[in-house]
A and B are shown apart, each in its own frame.
Chain A
Amino acid sequence: MSDTQARVSAALGGVPHQFTSVLDGMPTLVVERDHLRACLLALQQNAGFEANTFVTAVDHFPAEPRFELAYQFLSYAHNDRVRVHTRVSESDAKVPTITDLWPGTSFSERECYDMFGIVFDGHPDLRRLLMPVGFEHHPLRKDYPHHGIEPDRLYRTWDRERRKEWNSAT
């Protein structure tokens, strides 16, 4: 057990968790969604992880639960990192936000919502980040066709309204 694992285990106290091995050797926690918030709070308050590196997700379609959320945190004082994984299903793709703990995760969570459709409960401004307003799908889901579903629909809607306006004005 590495120093980081020992420190994280001590910091987590009674929060149920288990360590898993990943290819790059980084200490990686697997927690249930119900214990995610308590786990991340303990990581920040007790284990000294001041910075969030990223929040993202992996789609394991068609396995269930299909989404695997991945958080990575960095401690400046100890110069180490820890990763936290949790699984959510498509029918209940909802996790608590951590924007109140690490304000910088706001954009990461918005991107994750945009691309995977995972709702971050309590996020102050959960809008799409990359895709245009009015876009209906979540493109990084594995069952989304890579050519998209009517990718020009928003443009065509805009174009039709514009021409109607132009024709009525002239």
Chain B
Amino acid sequence: MGSLKPVEGSGDLGFLATRADFLINWGRKNSLWPMPLGLSCCGIELMAMIGPKFDLARFGAEAARFSPRQCDLLIVAGTLTWKMATAVRTIYDQMPDPKWVIAMGVCSSSGGMYDSYAVVQGVDSILPVDVYVPGCPPRPDAVIDAIIKLQKQIEREDPLGRLIRGPQAKPDTGSGRLLFQENEGVAKSAVDKHAHDPESRTGRGQA
């Protein structure tokens, strides 16, 4: 944490001394540009959050852009299917660094109630997530709270250190918590093998 102090002897010129880290983080955290990725009902709460009643502009993050090139905060709002996962990952890759991700709602946090073949069981399978928001869907206040928590995290970051020492080891693919083992070309007999076998039906714990 840094702070702004008037420089002694600067007279009326109005200089302030501070740490560069603090200034950069202060700028970043107070001008987050979210990429609203409304995939299901969470998208409605996301709109309410940006609208006048909850007024995300109070926290400097109301400039929602629909081009990933102009965003630094990806809000995954809703159920992510495997069919959509490639598109979401493409959007994430198109966002310029530095960038952060909020998993909004239980579907994007863990798959939620969609315990299914079609749904990604948590977007942290494919993205590095910074803040998880529980709720189905979460209230707009909860997402604003997540943005405040993210601002606190950005305060602790070390942008100059990254510049000097190179990027820190931030995992690119999230937890890599993919559910199933690598196995190219599923044999057709796999259908028979998995059928009615309670151990393999759960699917979990194989990876």
Contacts and interface: CB of A to CB of B under 8 A. Distances in A.
Contact of A150 (B116, B125, B180, B202): B180
A137 B194 CA distance: 13
Q: Is the interface of B mostly helix, strand, loop or mixed?
A: loop
A143 to B, nearest CB: 4
A148 B115 contact: no
A147 B202 contact: yes
Nearest to A143: B195
Given A132-B82, A143-B192, A144-B191, A150 B186 contact: yes
Contacts of A152: 82, 85, 120, 125, 178-180
B54 to A, nearest CB: 34
A147 B114 CA distance: 10
A169 B186 CA distance: 31
Interface string B157-198: 000000000000000010000111011001000111011100
Q: Is the interface of A mostly helix, strand, loop or mixed?
A: loop
A32 B65 CA distance: 57
Given A145-B203, A153-B180, 16 more contacts: A132-B83, A137-B191, A139-B117, A143-B192, A144-B117, A147-B116, A147-B204, A150-B183, A151-B118, A152-B178, A153-B183, A155-B82, A155-B89, A156-B182, A158-B86, A159-B126
Interface of B: 82-83, 85-86, 89, 115-118, 120, 125-126, 173, 178-180, 182-183, 186, 190-192, 194-196, 200-204
